[in-house]
Chain A
Amino acid sequence: SAVISQKPSRDICQRGTSLTIQCQVDSQVTMMFWYRQQPGQSLTLIATANQGSEATYESGFVIDKFPISRPNLTFSTLTVSNMSPEDSSIYLCSAPVAGGYNEQFFGPGTRLTVL
């Protein structure tokens, strides 16, 4: 099983600022995924991050607002830019289980509060 860590675990930010969330996997993975979990809601996929190529964004999410980096096979960052209170959510990263059938391991999440 993979171990996924995220930093920071939580943060409180001011409106208009940006926050970069880091995700580290303890093994090499081709794809990493970023999700948002708004209060009382389900997990919504923001984007898929492949190493060596541009991230693929889901409908409703754009690169200017959520730029993603994927510099190597074990690491990715998600930036939440020009934040507003509506961005207050838990942000999670995930990676596929090696040899699994589309299973994913999830990180512990980053709880973001925007004032």
Chain B
Amino acid sequence: AQSVSQHNHHVILSEAASLELGCNYSYGGTVNLFWYVQYPGQHLQLLLKYFSGDPLVKGIKGFEAEFIKSKFSFNLRKPSVQWSDTAEYFCAVYGNNRLAFGKGNQVVVIP
């Protein structure tokens, strides 16, 4: 079965700082990779996804993620965060007909 690891569960940043969240997965098949975001009081929603092609994918709100196959990683980045990026971020991998999620990163951006 696939699994996902996310580190640094709690991240506190100042506005304009850069953000990078690590995601490592284990799965032997073709991977579909996702980052989901949950803003306070809102639904879980898709931030970005990777299926194939260019390993650098861009999502909503200035986020991007890079798939590095040799490292089994799909790290999320944003060069300059805003207060509105305060949220919980989940990395997920699809395999065996199911999504497996990491434990999430609680990101707090201080104005």
Contact = CB atoms under 8 A, between A and B. Distances in A.
A48 interface: yes
Most chain A CB within 10 A, of B36, B46, B51, B90, is at B46
Contacts of B99: 33, 43, 45, 102, 104
Contacts, number: 41
A48 to B, nearest CB: 7
14 contacts: A33-B98, A42-B101, A42-B102, A42-B104, A44-B101, A92-B44, A101-B32, A102-B32, A102-B94, A106-B44, A106-B45, A107-B43, A109-B43, A109-B44
Interface of B: 4, 32, 34, 36, 42-46, 49, 51, 90, 94, 97-104
Interface of A: 33, 41-45, 48, 58, 92, 101-104, 106-109
